[in-house]
Amino acid sequence: MNDRPIRTTVIGSYPFPSWLEFGRRHLDAFGPADIAEMQDDAVIAAVHDQVAAGLDVITDGEQTRFDFNLSFYGYLEGIDRETEPSRQWGPPAHDQRPKHAITGELQAPDGLGAVEEFERLQRLAPPDQPLKASLPGPYTLSGRLVPNTQYPDRYAIAEALLPIVQRELEALVEAGCQELQVDEPSMSCYAYKADTARMVDLFNRTVEPVAGRCRLATHLCFGNYKGHPVGRRRIAPMIPDFLDFKADEIHVEMANREFAEIELLERIAERKDVAVGVVDVKNYYIETPDDVADRIRRCLDYVPADKLAVAPDCGLSQTARWAARRKLKALVEGARQVRAAL
Ligand SMILES: [Zn+2]
């Protein structure tokens, strides 16, 4: 159960400052010390915006998952990282992200980098500020890798990634992380046509060693690459199987779906804390605090306040920073309004 009613939280990513975007395209112009300074500065900026908004829980904004070599696939051995996407031009969409060929045994001898990120966040965030770290689960992480004879399908790849993700989760807890989020949006996107019980088994075996040792959340959205969804945006196919997830909190997007299937929040709340996306990261209409308060009150028809957390629909990395800042402020203000009237 939440430590406070209508807890305000985030999913993880935050828009990069313009200079960081520039820097990551010109990494050759920087030395290791310059890059380390740039990474610290970017996290300081993301922390600042989240703390200024007044959020109960913050992340590092995933500001340092910015370079190909530093992203998760950059930590994996046994893949061809030089793959180009099959479609280079035209409107932005998921098929413009590269898919990597598997060339050997999948391994990550140096981990996935999340511990270093979390330690940086601990160093730069205000003392006593609750912090969250996020990591994609093995099913979602397997999505950019192409099956081969050694790993004949997506589940075979996910099984190979499971111990890698699991080790990283354990290391995060050992580093002092008290709140972990395992992102499995690929599970929510494909729940309508996949074996959901098999997905749950995969998720639960991944988190087994850390379940009960920290607050464990999962983020289940329908895609947001370049601001576009990719799934059939229905929560019903996830229920009831996903309620067996070994997680304390399940996050679902609601704002950009205009609160379709809101009644299903009641089913989730029977078993879990529910984090609800109440601001739309895809829309440049900026929600007012009153909008947010109205949406939260609608959620309270189905979820008790002490089991409800509110957040954006997804990470904010695909939303302009000025808009992200204003949306987070409205989120916190709207939650305060409703909390004050409880
Ligand atoms: Zn998402």
Q: pLDDT tens-digit profile of 75-87?
A: 999 999 877 888 9
Q: How far does the centroid of ligand 1 lie from the alpha carbon of residue 15, in Å?
A: 14
Q: How far does the centroid of ligand 1 lie from the alpha carbon of residue 265, in Å?
A: 18
Q: pLDDT tens-digit profile of 88-131?
A: 999 999 999 889 999 999 999 999 999 999 999 999 999 999 99
Q: Say how far residue 10 (Cα) sits from the centre of its chain.
A: 8
Q: How far does the centroid of ligand 1 lie from the alpha carbon of residue 33, in Å?
A: 32
- Please provide the size of the chain in residues: 342
Q: How far does the centroid of ligand 1 lie from the alpha carbon of residue 316, in Å?
A: 9
Q: How far does the centroid of ligand 1 lie from the alpha carbon of residue 106, in Å?
A: 25
Provide the whole-model pTM: 0.96
Whole-number average pLDDT of the chain = 96
SS3 37: helix
pLDDT of residue 85: 85
pLDDT of residue 3: 75
Q: How far does the centroid of ligand 1 lie from the alpha carbon of residue 30, in Å?
A: 31
Kindly report the CATH number that applies to the domain delimited by 7-63+104-340.
Answer: 3.20.20.210
Task: Find the angle CA(237)-CA(239)-CA(241) to the nearest 5 degrees.
Answer: 105
What is the C-alpha to C-alpha distance for residues 90 and 227, in angstroms, rounded to an integer? 15
> What are the boundaries of each domain within the chain?
7-63+104-340
Torsion angle of C-alpha atoms 262, 306, 270, 198, degrees rounded to 10? 80
Q: How far is CA 252 from CA 107, 141, 183, in A?
A: 31, 19, 11
Q: How far does the centroid of ligand 1 lie from the alpha carbon of residue 208, in Å?
A: 23
Burial label, 170 (beta-carbon count in 10 A; 0-12, 13-18, 19+): middle
User: Is the CB of residue 30 less than 8 Å from the CB of residue 23?
Assistant: yes
pLDDT of residue 66: 75
